[in-house]
Structure 1
Amino acid sequence: MIEVENAVKTIGKKNVLKGINLKFDSGKVYGLKGRNGAGKTMLLRAVAGLIHLDRGQVSIDGQILHRDIDFPKDLGLLIESNNVLPDFTLRKNLQMLAKIKKVATDEMIDEAIRRVGLEPGDRRKVREYSLGMKQRAAIAQAIFERPRVILLDEPTNAIDIEGVKSIRELFEEEKKRGATILMASHNPEDLSLLADEVIEMSEGSVANAE
């Protein structure tokens, strides 16, 4: 379980999170909607441990971020930018990442690449990929270690219609596996088709939960 309690964050003079209180259970997809600047990405960054809150806390299975742990121990992440290294193949990228936690095997890596619609044997460097392929590569990076928590910021951006369908099926499979998925999206179909609960944010606050 992920619990956000009275999360407050100010950057400059802007209150980007204003006393957020939310709970997220395993095996569910939570959709975050709202205009740009509503606080969706900042909430994802808080859950990922990428920012320190001014007040309040985020806990993962009872462990408080930045007190008990620095980051969630079992996390897949796609936030804002594509962090896949451009001068390597996707397979090499994932192999290098796999050395950190020593969780993913080569078979798991190849499976993740295929699941996002790419080929493990593709020898092109990531910088040669189209925008849609780069987005698929970023999703592969988020799911290849089969994490318990998956945070996604606009995951279907730049992906064609058929590709979006298969990526949505992938997220459904991850949900059935028991992952907790938080997904910020401007695509209403992503939210209506995937989310068990939709949380609307506005100016750093929770405006509504459906």
Structure 2
Amino acid sequence: MLKVNQISKTIKGKVILNNISLDLKQGEIYGFVGRNGSGKTMLFRALSGLMKIDSGDIIYNNYKLHHDVTVFPNLGITIENAGLYPEFTGFKNLQLLAKLNRKIGDQEIKIAIKRVGLDPDDVRTFRKYSLGMKQRIVLAQAIMEKPELILLDEPTNSLDEEGVKLIRQVIREEQERGAMVLLASHNKEDIKLLADQVYYLDSGRLVDEVYSHAK
């Protein structure tokens, strides 16, 4: 269970998040839509602990963010380039990240890389990856430890049609495993096909629940 209670954030006098509240359940996919600058990415940064909020509470499985923990346990998130080292291969990058939590070994890393359609033995460095490959390896790092809470910001961006289908399948598999997935996407088909419930943001405010349906 993820509870977001009236969170707000202002940066340089501009309201970025405005009194947002959510009550989200495990095993569901939640879509977040809105124009550029609507607050989707900032909301995800707040939920992940990458950005401190000015007021309100964020609680997941009885852990209060920035009170009990600085980052929620069992969290997976896609952010641009994910702090990956350009001079290392995708596998080496994920290997280094995995050592932080020491939850998984090389075999689990290779499985995650294969799931997103990449070769774990590819000797190319991250610097030489195409945009689509970078998108895939970032998703691999988000799911490799089988997190309970997954935040995906534009996960199918820069992917071809085949890649989009594969990543959608991976997201469905994560839901079937029991993960809660929060998905921000400009791709209307991503939202239509994947989300159980959809929220609309505008100027940092949660202004509407677009639709809700059972799968």
Q: Tell me which interval the TM-score lies in, with the shorter structure as reference length.
A: over 0.9
Distance 1:83 1:162 in 2: 26
> Which amino acid letter does the alignment assign opposite residue 58 of structure 2?
V
Corresponding residue for residue 131 of structure 2: 131
- SS of 1:201's partner is strand
Deviation at 1:53, TM superposition (A): 1.1
Q: Which residue number corresponds to residue 90 of structure 1? A: 90
Counterparts of 1:98 and 1:82, CA distance in 2: 13
Identity of aligned residues (%): 49
CA distance in 1, matches of 2:126, 2:24: 33
**1:186-197 to 2 correspondences below 5 Å:** 186-197=186-197
Contact 1:175 1:181 in 2 (8 A): yes
Q: RMSD over aligned Cα, in angstroms? A: 1.0
Pairwise CA distance, 1:63: 1.4
TM-aligned CA deviation for residue 80 of structure 1:
3.9
Matched residue, 1:157: 157
Inter-partner Cα distance in structure 2 for 1:183 and 1:130? 23
- Contact 2:154–2:184 at 8 Å: present in 1 too? yes
2:75 matched to which residue of 1?
A: 75
Q: Is the 8 A contact 1:41 1:79 kept in 2?
A: no
Look up the equivalent residue of 1:157 and give its one-letter code.
N
Can you list the C-alpha shifts for 1:58-111, whole angstroms capped at 9, x where unaligned? 011121101111111111111244432211011111111111111112111010
On the 8 A contact 2:118/2:136 being kept in 1, the answer is: yes
Looking at structure 2, the residues matched to 97 and 24 of structure 1 have their Cα atoms a distance apart, in angstroms, of: 28
Counterpart-to-counterpart distance in 2, 1:94 and 1:80:
15
**TM superposition shift of 1:4:** 0.5
Shift of residue 6, structure 1, vs aligned partner: 0.5
The match for 1:30 is 30
CA contact (8 A) 1:83 1:138 kept: no
1:111-150 aligned at under 5 Å gives the runs 111-150=111-150
- Check conservation: 1:82, 1:135, Cα contact below 8 A: no
Query: Which residue matches 2:5?
Result: 5
SS in 2 for 1:3: strand
Q: In the aligned structure 1, how far is the partner of 2:106 from the partner of 2:79?
A: 25
Which is further off, 200-209 or 82-91?
82-91
TM-score under structure 1 normalisation? Answer: 0.97
Q: SS of the residue aligned with 1:146?
A: coil
Detail structure 1 runs of 4+ shifted over 6 Å in the superposition.
Answer: none
1:175 aligns with 2:175: yes
Report if the CA contact (8 A) 1:8-1:54 is conserved.
Answer: yes
Length, aligned pairs only: 210
For normalisation by structure 2, the TM-score amounts to 0.95
User: Gaps (5+ residues) in structure 1?
Assistant: none
1:3 & 1:85 partners in 2: Cα distance? 34
Q: Is contact 2:103-2:145 (8 Å) kept?
A: yes
- The gaps in structure 2 that reach 5 residues or longer are none
Task: Report deviation, 1:51.
Answer: 1.3
